[in-house]
Every structure is written in C-alpha cells, then in structure tokens.
C-alpha cells in the first residue's frame, strides 16, 4: 500500500503499516477497513506513547514506534499477526481477557505493574513488569459493536526493580549497609526517575540528578523553593491531602501532579511516597507523554462519536429530503402548467403562492441534502479570490449597512474544486448568522490561507493540503455548551419564525461532501470564527468560455425518451417537455427504455432519473446508451448524491426539483454539445 500524504508521521512503523499487504491478513485490504479502524491506526501512529491495536476476532496486532522496544525480537514479525502468536507464552491470560472485551462482556481493564514471564530476546524467558490499559474500540460494523482493543502499555520493570532495591536497602542487615549504600548511590545517580527526600514543611533536602535533567532547575534552586512554588496551583489540594495521609501513618501514597520547569512549562509526575522518621521519601516518574496520549485518545473518541452521530442524522434527513424532492417536483411542475392556463388575477395569485411555497420547500430540501452529503453537486475548479470578489455584493446585501465586510484572499491561494452555488449558499448562511449575532453592527472578515493538516487534532480527522476559508465576526459569541450542536439540522437559538436551523448544517454538509470539513471557535462576548476547509485541487483553474444563449424548446422536431419510476413525476416531466415542443416517449425503468431503443424508433435524447429500482439505475442505462447507441444524447436528473458518479462519467445532470426554464436549458445543452462545451 502506498503511504498517503495524510498518513501519520513517517516513522518506521508508519512505513511498515502503510507498506504492508494487508489483503493477506484477516483484516483485508485497507480500502475495506472501517472508519473506526482507520482512525485508531492514525491515532497510535501519531502518538509518542507505547500503544497498540488488537483488531477483530483474531486480535490482529498493529503497534507504533514507541511500543516496538517492548516486543524485542518479536518485531517486525508481530505486525499483522494474531495475538496468540505474538504473545503465545502468556496468551492463556491475554486471550480470554481480550476476547471478553471484544464480546462486550467486560469494559476497560487496567493493571499496574503486571508481572509476566515473556520470551522476546532470542527465546530466553525473562520476568517483566508492565502497567497496562485495555479499552474497547467502538465499531458499528463489528458484531458486538466493538471492533478491537486499544492497548496502552508502559514497561515498569526498571521502576519495580528500583523500588524493590530501595525497600531492600531499608530492610538490609547491618553488616551489608556499606555495600548497599554504595549500590543505592549508584541507583541514585543513574536513575531517570526523580528520587528525593523532603520534610513535612514542604522543602526538599535531598534530590538525585534526574530532577535537574527533567525540570531544568539546579539542585540548590530546587532546595531553596517551597513545594508550592514548584507545584501547579490546581494540584495543591489533593497533593496536601496525600502528604496528610503519610503523616497519619499510611505506609505508601501514590498520586499525580504537575511540577514547573524552569522555562515555565509543566511536567506531569506520578509519585510514590513513603514516610519514615519525619521525612518523606519520594520516587517520581515522568508521565507527561502518557497524559498527552490519553488526551489525544479522548479527543479522537469524541470526534468519532460526533462523526457517527452526524452520519446517522444525515442518513435520516437525506432520505426524507430525497422523497420530498419528488413531491416538490409534482407541485412546482403542475403549478407551472396551471400558470400558463390561469386567466383571472385570483387564480394567478393562488398559483404564485403555490410556486413560492414550493420554492421555499426546495431551498429546505437543498439544505437538508447538503447536510446529509446527498446533494447532487456540479463541482468546478475555481480561484477563491476571483469568485469571492463576484460574491461581494451578495454577501454585503445579506449583512446590514452598519456591518463592515472585508475579504482578504492572498493571490497565491490554492485552487479548489467546489459547487459554486453551494459555496455561495454556505457563505450567505454564515454571513446571515454573523449579522444576527451583531444587532448593533460590527465587522465580518473573510480570509483565506493555505494550510497542511495532520491528524489526529483536525476536524473530522482530515489530513493533507487545504484552503482554510475563515469567516470571523465581532458578535456576541456562542456559549461553550452550545458549540457542539451548531451544525446539527434544525438546531437554532433564534426565536420562532426567525430561522430554520439549517444554515450551518448546509455549511457542514457542503464542506464534507467537497472533501473537507468545517470548524467553529467562539467565546461569549468575543465573536465567532467559522473555518471551512476545502481540499487543494490537483487541477488548475480553467477559464470558463462565454457561450451564446441557448435556443428554447425543440428546434429540429426532436424526440425524447423520458425514463422515470415515479408515475407522478413522469407525468409532470412529460407535460413540461411537450410544452417545450418535444415529442415524448416514456419508460418507468431502464430495461423498458432499452427495449424501446431496440425497436429502432428515432430517439434524439434519453432523459433519465438516476435512482431507479431494478438491475440498472440511470447511470448504468446512460453507459449502455453511450456504448450501443452513440448517436443518442443522454441527460440525467437527480436530487441525490449518487449523481456525483454521473458527472465523473461525463454525463450532464439536472438537479431535482427543476423548473421549466432550467429543463429547457439542460435539454438544449445536451442536444447541442458544441454549444455546451462538451
């Protein structure tokens, strides 16, 4: 497998993971992996903390660079192997535990200083200690909703041995004191853990060299400072409680807190403490990397949960909007037919009201389909600087006179491939939201910049080269508890009849369907910044030719084969085509359309819906027509994202619901390919 641009940093394990032929393993080719598995692999490869994944019923092993030393000479053969062959010598314990987590019979598992006898250096058995954490990885595609087990592991052999050595020193016989003292001094000098002695007043009276190496202070500087000057203020209460437990006679106390580095940054330290003769003896292990890895894992899990939630909502809203589009086609189409026949002013006003309501419904379904990423898009490569200049008047009119609008797009901005109408709608939606957040006026600043994103700390885990298009306002801001909900459809903080709650959901759907994402940052009273990430297009911007206006209606007594499975939509479309002067033959599925073509009757254009029942959908029909009847033109129509593959196949597409004027232009362009530039 070729390592993609957005892969984790190119350490040895990233190269091995993305270079391995996974089709020869139970996991199968990476293209078939679930999003949960892909997110989890990206997470561990980006982490500096020892982490591994055990995936599927066989518990297939994937691990990162930091985990590699734990394996010894089992690396690199362990990659892609079942857990039973990687840790066969302890599988009697590991197997049932991991399988129980995989089946959902138990939750996470944690063990500190777990003792195992392992073989990892030339087959020689050794005793080792590990602090381990096993967590279930959610995966909707897995039988029990759990795809694998996330493993974090710290080898604590050296620390345990050090602690045992210190206890041995305390218990040694008098005649061995001198020897043990020398041994302790050696441990004291070379240990990477913080070893020290303090009094109950809060001052250290003895520390080993590791303190200076970790915190940057000299021994004298640390001894001169009270512990409150070194420790993070937020950790004071529970740290004092631990010291009080020692004073009360508790033999050993363990806790975590942060100590200040000389440069002002903070280091997380896990302490083991005991007291004797009025002094506190401490061993401190540096755990900042573990803390950061845990934070990354939590953020990744939250992103995954939010992504799955949005996907579920999108599937529901997309299906509803698709069916509603067909209803709107019937309403608007028949309204146009009636408009041509209506005579009196009352009838015309009634028809205009129907058309206005249908147009409003079309706008709602458009935004729902955009959120669900099922909108039929017509992307083109554009220069954002040029296009936003043409949008300026529209965006300014969407704001108010007391709002200053600025647009700053640098000349070296990368090209992007987007649907212009959806981009325009997204910018209008954000602008209107910003306007409503500034009742007393303010500023809206639109800016663009080129960025390169690396997971896992990116919206929706996107990675690669993107154009970040940010819209910043100076409005009232958004409360923290509301921020996670702003892209959900129908969520709004506006009053009744003041908003549909679909504006920002359209922005989310447009950015995701365009291959990017969107992020929002805000603080109450400090304004809001919405950033749309659009992937850099590998293609250059192509100037669009100025074309002559199309003729309206039939010009050469043309015949159109109309293919539509919805009888009511078929009737409306047929009436509209006949009004434009075309002869119409109809079929309710692709197979029936092919039978009509086989009869040899003259057909100039096949006008077909994309989503249809049967073995052949509209796209498959279009390909058959192109192959078997090269003289027959094809025009497809849909309101669904499945139509994206139609554009990829080179077929023109008309987005549902459509009006008579749009139908006329699309049919004429399809029949006159030289005029349409095809």
The total number of structural domains in the chain stands at: 4
pLDDT band at 8 (very low <50, low <70, confident <90, very high): very low
Contacts of 496 (CB under 8 A, 6+ apart): none
- Is the domain of 513 the same as that of 567? no
Ordered alpha helix ranges (H), 465-559: 503-513
What pLDDT sits at residue 308?
63
- 448: CATH: 3.30.565.10
Give the span between the Cα atoms of 324 and 343, in whole angstroms. Answer: 30
- Is the domain of 573 the same as that of 612? yes
Are the C-beta atoms of 484 and 306 separated by less than 8 Å? yes
Tens of pLDDT, residues 112-162: 999 999 999 888 899 999 999 999 999 998 888 999 999 999 999 999 988
Query: What stretches of 243-349 adopt beta strand conformation (E)?
Result: 253-260, 266-276, 279-286
Domain membership flag for residue 300: no
> ω into residue 456 within 30 of 0, thus cis?
yes
- Is the domain of 459 the same as that of 533? yes
HSE on the CB side for 381, CA within 13 Å?
11
Q: Which of 286, 307, 332 is the last residue of a domain?
A: 286
Domain membership flag for residue 162: no
Q: 606 pLDDT exceeds 90?
A: yes
Helix/strand/coil percentages in the chain, nearest 5: 45, 25, 30
- Is the domain of 385 the same as that of 237? no
Domain membership flag for residue 29: yes
- 598: CATH: 3.40.50.2300
Which residue from 8, 24, 37, 39 is spatially nearest to 459, judged by alpha carbons?
Answer: 39
Domain membership flag for residue 490: yes
pLDDT band at 2 (very low <50, low <70, confident <90, very high): very low
pLDDT band at 190 (very low <50, low <70, confident <90, very high): confident
* Domain, as residue range, for 394: 377-544
Long-range contacts of 81-87 (CB under 8 A, 24+ apart): 82/26, 82/58, 83/54, 83/58, 83/59, 84/58, 84/59, 86/61, 87/118
Structure tokens at 469: 């298009």
Domain membership flag for residue 431: yes
Domain membership flag for residue 338: no
Which residue from 207, 224, 198, 167 is spatially nearest to 278, judged by alpha carbons?
Answer: 198
Strand partners, 256: 270
- Is the domain of 196 the same as that of 112? no
- Is the domain of 227 the same as that of 263? yes
- Is the domain of 493 the same as that of 579? no
Q: What is the side-by-side order of every strand in the sheet holding 633-638? A: 583-587, 559-563, 605-609, 633-638, 653-655
- Is the domain of 566 the same as that of 616? yes
**Hey, is 571 helix, strand or coil?**
helix
**Hey, is 119 helix, strand or coil?**
strand
- Is the domain of 435 the same as that of 533? yes
pLDDT band at 508 (very low <50, low <70, confident <90, very high): confident
Q: Which of 286, 305, 322 is the last residue of a domain?
A: 286
Q: 514 pLDDT exceeds 70?
A: yes
Residue carrying the six token digits 């003292």: 181
Q: Which of 269, 286, 303 is the last residue of a domain?
A: 286
Domain membership flag for residue 321: no
- Is the domain of 539 the same as that of 563? no
pLDDT: which is higher, 34 or 320 = 34
- 267: CATH: 3.30.450.20
Residue 467: its H or E element: strand 464-473
- Is the domain of 595 the same as that of 450? no
- Is the domain of 96 the same as that of 243? no
Give the span between the Cα atoms of 334 and 571, in whole angstroms. Answer: 9
Give the span between the Cα atoms of 372 and 310, in whole angstroms. Answer: 8
What DSSP state is assigned to residue 321?
Answer: H
Q: 320 pLDDT exceeds 60?
A: no
pLDDT band at 628 (very low <50, low <70, confident <90, very high): very high
Contacts of 152 (CB under 8 A, 6+ apart): 49, 50, 51, 132, 133, 135, 290, 293, 294
Residue 209 vs residues 186, 195, 327: alpha-carbon distances, Å: 11, 9, 77
pLDDT: which is higher, 164 or 360 = 164
pLDDT band at 542 (very low <50, low <70, confident <90, very high): confident
Residue carrying the six token digits 């003041």: 498
Domain membership flag for residue 175: no
**Mean pLDDT across 534-540:** 91
Q: What is the side-by-side order of every strand in the sheet holding 528-535? A: 403-408, 442-453, 464-473, 528-535, 517-522
């Amino acid at each position: 497998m070729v390592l993609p641009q957005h892969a984790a940093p190119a350490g040895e394990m990233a190269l091995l993971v993305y270079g391995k032929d996974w089709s020869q393993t139970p996991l199968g080719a990476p293209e078939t992996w679930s999003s949960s598995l892909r997110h989890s692999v990206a997470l561990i490869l980006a982490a500096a903390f020892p982490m591994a994944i055990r995936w599927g019923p066989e518990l297939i092993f994937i691990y990162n660079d930091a985990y590699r030393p734990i394996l010894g000479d089992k690396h690199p053969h362990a990659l892609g192997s079942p857990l039973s062959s990687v840790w066969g010598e302890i599988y009697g314990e590991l197997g049932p535990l991991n399988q129980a987590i995989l089946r959902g019979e138990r939750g996470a598992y944690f063990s500190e200083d777990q003792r195992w006898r392992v073989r990892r250096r030339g087959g020689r058995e050794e005793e080792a200690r590990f602090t381990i954490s096993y967590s279930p990885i959610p995966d909707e595609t897995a039988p029990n909703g759990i795809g694998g087990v996330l493993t974090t592991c710290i080898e604590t052999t050296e620390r345990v041995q050090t602690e045992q050595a210190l206890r041995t020193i305390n218990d040694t016989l008098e005649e061995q004191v001198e020897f043990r003292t020398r041994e302790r001094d050696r441990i004291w000098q070379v240990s990477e853990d913080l070893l020290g002695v303090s009094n109950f007043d809060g001052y250290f009276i003895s520390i080993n060299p590791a303190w200076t190496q970790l915190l940057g202070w000299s021994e004298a500087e640390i001894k001169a400072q009270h512990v409150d000057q070194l420790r993070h203020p937020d950790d004071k209460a529970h740290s004092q409680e631990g010291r009080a437990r020692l004073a009360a006679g508790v033999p050993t106390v363990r806790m975590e807190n942060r100590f200040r580095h000389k440069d002002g940054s903070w280091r997380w330290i896990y302490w083991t403490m005991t007291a004797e003769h009025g002094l506190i003896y401490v061993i401190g292990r540096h755990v900042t990397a573990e803390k950061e890895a845990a934070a990354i894992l939590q953020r990744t899990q939250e992103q995954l949960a939010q992504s799955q939630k949005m996907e579920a909502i999108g599937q529901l809203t997309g299906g509803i909007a698709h069916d509603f589009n067909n209803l709107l086609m019937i309403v608007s189409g028949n309204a146009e037919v009636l408009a041509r026949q209506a005579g009196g002013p009352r009838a015309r006003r009634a028809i205009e009201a129907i058309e206005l309501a249908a147009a409003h419904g079309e706008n709602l379904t458009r935004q729902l389909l955009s959120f669900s990423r099922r909108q039929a898009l017509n992307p083109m490569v554009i220069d954002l600087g040029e296009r936003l200049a043409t949008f300026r008047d529209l965006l300014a009119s969407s704001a108010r006179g007391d709002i200053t609008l600025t647009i700053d797009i640098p000349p070296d901005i990368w090209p992007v491939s987007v649907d212009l109408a959806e981009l325009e709608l997204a910018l209008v939606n954000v602008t209107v939201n910003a306007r409503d957040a500034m009742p007393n006026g303010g500023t809206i600043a639109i800016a663009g910049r080129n960025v390169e994103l690396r997971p896992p700390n990116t919206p929706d885990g996107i990675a690669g080269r993107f154009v970040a298009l940010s819209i910043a306002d100076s409005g009232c801001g958004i409360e923290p508890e509301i921020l996670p909900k702003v892209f959900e459809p129908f969520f709004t903080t506006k009053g009744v009849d003041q908003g549909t709650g679909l504006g920002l959901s359209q922005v989310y759907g447009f950015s995701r369907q365009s291959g990017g994402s969107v992020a929002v940052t805000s603080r109450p009273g400090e304004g809001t910044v919405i950033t749309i990430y659009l992937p850099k297009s590998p293609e250059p911007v192509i100037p669009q030719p100025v074309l002559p206006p199309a003729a309206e209606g039939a010009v050469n007594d043309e015949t159109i084969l109309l293919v539509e499975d919805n009888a009511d939509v078929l009737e409306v479309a047929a009436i509209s085509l006949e009004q434009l002067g075309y002869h119409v033959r109809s079929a309710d599925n692709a197979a029936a359309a092919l039978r009509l073509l086989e009869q040899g009757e003259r057909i100039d254009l096949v006008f077909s819906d994309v989503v249809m029942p049967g073995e052949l959908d509209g796209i498959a029909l279009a390909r058959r027509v192109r192959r078997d009847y090269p003289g027959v033109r094809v025009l497809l129509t849909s309101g669904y994202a499945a139509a994206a593959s139609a554009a990829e196949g080179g077929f023109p597409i008309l987005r549902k619901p459509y009006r008579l004027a749009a139908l006329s232009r699309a049919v004429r362009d399809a029949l006159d390919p030289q005029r349409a530039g095809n």
